[in-house]
With several copies, the nearest count.
Chain A
Amino acid sequence: MDRINGKDIDLRVRLGGLSLRNPVMTASGTFGYAGEFSHLVDLQRLGAVVVKGISLAPRPGNPPPRVVETACGMLNAIGLENVGLEGFLAEKMEFLREINSRVIVNILGDSVREYGLLAEKLTGVKGVDALEVNISCPNVKKGGVAFGTDPAMAAEVTRVVKEGTDLPVIVKLSPNVTDITVMARAVEEAGADAVSLINTLIGMAIDPASRRPRLANIIGGLSGPAIKPVALRMVWQAARAVSIPVIGIGGIATPEDALEFLIAGATAIQVGTANFYQPRSAESIIDGLAAYLKTQGEDSIRSIIGTLQTEGD
């Protein structure tokens, strides 16, 4: 139960085997390993924290510049810099175990085998509540793109991860595809417990004065409010295509944004870029969801999910 004037407003949701105290998570790569926000955000209020994508070996990431602001959005080409699995377990898990929130580990690999190994090694680690499989990051030339845009490869990764773990497995989809429902169904059939979407759209920016790309990597991932309409459309399509829970991501910054995704059929949502410019976004969304339920005369957030009215005129 969420604390709001002591009212019994029930924000709990269930993602396959994973129950959350509310549907508001922080998105991978936008909330570090949670400690970065510990002075600004009441971490234990969050439905879950999804940590920065972890690979087997540490990765240095891309050369700078890595970020650039765009109209109501930003491009990033971080290049999946991360401390690597061992570093993560040694340096980050201790803190994460203490935050009294669900911890979902986002994993990425260059090969199916790496995904499988990551899943195995994270299984049984105290404090890890679920895995989110990043098959969609556009920044690394090797692997990333192909897994996320080819349904067969996405299914293969899903299967191998599922074989390697008994943790709930969320597969995170790339929006850079012709038909998101094909991808969603492919990973559902391969055993995914949930899908999350969207990862970033691939974009680019150029500095006319120097005639150089603004990102050293040339292209990068577009995130923020600019992409919300695309994300919402894909979530709505995916939610109608699969029967596993869908987690909505993309430009969510306010309670109204979150509600759009829940109404479209998302069981939970993730706040990404908004953490950067307004670290308390997730908390204010949690408050706003509870307030909305009151005005709608509902007592459970679950009665909002997927209630889009499309009939009539």
Chain B
Amino acid sequence: MPEFQEKAPLLDREVIADDIFRLTLHAPKIAAAARPGQFVMLRVGAGMDPLLRRPFSIHQIDASGNMKILFKVIGRGTAALAGVSPGSSIDCIGPLGNGFSLEKKGRLCLVGGGMGIAPLYFLASRLLQNGKRVDRDFVLLGARNHQELHIVADEFYELGYRVQTATDDGSLGHHGFVTELLDPILPAMERVCTCGPLAMMKICADKAGAADVACQVSLETHMACGLGACLGCAVRNADGGYLHVCRQGPVFDAGEVKWTG
């Protein structure tokens, strides 16, 4: 699984919400090699501060070598990224990590919360491309409000998935937690793939576990390199040892992970 370093021209910059942006980067080598669930490390800003690259899930890929990332402004790095104007280039390393299972058999439920929806779109579209039957598969998406969600929710819908949404303020779909949408659906599912806040993924994992449904989760952790070199991205595994999110993950079977808190 080779990774590439590309100076990727920024082709487009969409403002999804006040603090949520979607960038289209021309990164043909990365795009050609990418699998759903993998991520890229982006260099934000030209100087030495912020110093480290930032990890972002690969959100969409097209046949002409373009890659989208969807992100929320959290701190200095993402703020800098939001300020990059089309025409500039962004230094990208990827694709990194393992990715979600591309199993075509069985009914699938994707559960995304916040920016966790980013990799799920790539997964949803790749499964469709690979010939999976998706019209009985669910996509459950949660966010703070309508604005954050509706554009990407529509895109999932266009792929042919059954899309349900939940928002904190009730401005789109269910008023409440996205995980609450899972209960009626879960018994009919064979697999759940989830990405989002840890607490949300834990609920998914618990519910899936209780229902004896397979569950893959995509973890976030601070990363210095993304390449398996710094060993900084450790999270606890179920046995008390450590998993390295950048190489062994970011996607894990829910059972591998130690769910604390």
Contact status B5-A280, CB under 8 Å:
yes
Which of B3, B48, B231, B260 makes the CB contact (< 8 A) with A81?
A: B231
> Is the CB of A143 closer than 8 A to any CB of chain B?
no
| Contacts across chains A and B counted by CB atoms under 8 Å | 101
Which of B51, B93, B233 makes the CB contact (< 8 A) with A69?
A: B51
B186-244 CB contacts (< 8 Å) to partner A: 221-225, 227-236, 241-242
- Distance between Cα atoms of A65 and B4 in the complex (Å): 27
Closest B residue to A40 by CB, please name it: B5
Chain B residues whose C-beta falls within 8 Å of the C-beta of A30 in the assembled complex: 229-230
> Is the CB of A64 closer than 8 A to any CB of chain B?
yes
- Distance between Cα atoms of A280 and B6 in the complex (Å): 12
CB contact under 8 A between A74 and B51, given known A81-B242, A276-B230: yes
- Distance between Cα atoms of A39 and B52 in the complex (Å): 20
Chain B residues whose C-beta falls within 8 Å of the C-beta of A72 in the assembled complex: 48-49, 51
Query: Considering the complex of A and B, which 3 residue pairs feature the smallest CB-CB distances, nearest first?
Result: A67-B232, A32-B229, A276-B225
> Is the CB of A270 closer than 8 A to any CB of chain B?
no
CB contact under 8 A between A36 and B229, given known A61-B234, A67-B223, A280-B5: yes
> Is the CB of A37 closer than 8 A to any CB of chain B?
yes
Which of A37, A40, A276 makes the CB contact (< 8 A) with B224?
A: A276
Chain B residues whose C-beta falls within 8 Å of the C-beta of A63 in the assembled complex: 234, 236
Chain B residues whose C-beta falls within 8 Å of the C-beta of A275 in the assembled complex: 225, 229
- Distance between Cα atoms of A277 and B231 in the complex (Å): 14
Which of B221, B222, B230, B260 makes the CB contact (< 8 A) with A78?
A: B230
- Distance between Cα atoms of A61 and B244 in the complex (Å): 12
Contact status A40-B93, CB under 8 Å:
yes
Chain B residues whose C-beta falls within 8 Å of the C-beta of A32 in the assembled complex: 227-229
A-B contact pairs, 24 of them (CB 8 A): A30-B229, A32-B228, A37-B227, A39-B2, A39-B4, A40-B5, A40-B227, A52-B231, A62-B234, A64-B222, A64-B233, A64-B242, A66-B222, A66-B233, A67-B222, A68-B222, A69-B50, A73-B51, A78-B230, A78-B231, A81-B231, A276-B227, A277-B52, A279-B227
Contact status A36-B241, CB under 8 Å:
no
Contact status A277-B3, CB under 8 Å:
no
CB contact under 8 A between A279 and B5, given known A67-B223, A67-B230, A76-B230: yes
Which of A39, A52, A278 makes the CB contact (< 8 A) with B43?
A: A278
- The dominant DSSP class at the A interface is loop
Contact status B48-A29, CB under 8 Å:
no
> Is the CB of B53 closer than 8 A to any CB of chain A?
yes
- Distance between Cα atoms of A52 and B5 in the complex (Å): 23
Q: How far is the CB of A206 from chain B (nearest CB, A)?
A: 15
CB contact under 8 A between A276 and B53, given known A64-B236, A72-B48: yes
Which of A37, A65, A69 makes the CB contact (< 8 A) with B52?
A: A69
Contact with B along A48-64 (1 / 0, CB 8 A): 00001000000011111
Contact status A225-B48, CB under 8 Å:
yes
Chain A residues whose C-beta falls within 8 Å of the C-beta of B242 in the assembled complex: 60-61, 64, 81
B73-99 CB contacts (< 8 Å) to partner A: 93
Q: How far is the CB of A66 from chain B (nearest CB, A)?
A: 5
Contact with A along B159-181 (1 / 0, CB 8 A): 00000000000000000000000
Contact status A40-B221, CB under 8 Å:
no
Chain A residues whose C-beta falls within 8 Å of the C-beta of B227 in the assembled complex: 32, 36-37, 40, 276, 279
> Is the CB of A115 closer than 8 A to any CB of chain B?
no
> Is the CB of A313 closer than 8 A to any CB of chain B?
yes
- Distance between Cα atoms of A275 and B235 in the complex (Å): 22
Task: Beyond the given A36-B228, A66-B231, A72-B51, please list 5 additional residue pairs across the A-B interface where CB-CB is below 8 A.
Answer: A30-B229, A31-B229, A37-B229, A76-B230, A277-B43
Chain B residues whose C-beta falls within 8 Å of the C-beta of A78 in the assembled complex: 230-232
Closest A residue to B2 by CB, please name it: A39
- Distance between Cα atoms of A36 and B230 in the complex (Å): 10
- Distance between Cα atoms of A37 and B232 in the complex (Å): 16
> Is the CB of A209 closer than 8 A to any CB of chain B?
no
Q: How far is the CB of A28 from chain B (nearest CB, A)?
A: 11
Chain A residues whose C-beta falls within 8 Å of the C-beta of B49 in the assembled complex: 71-72
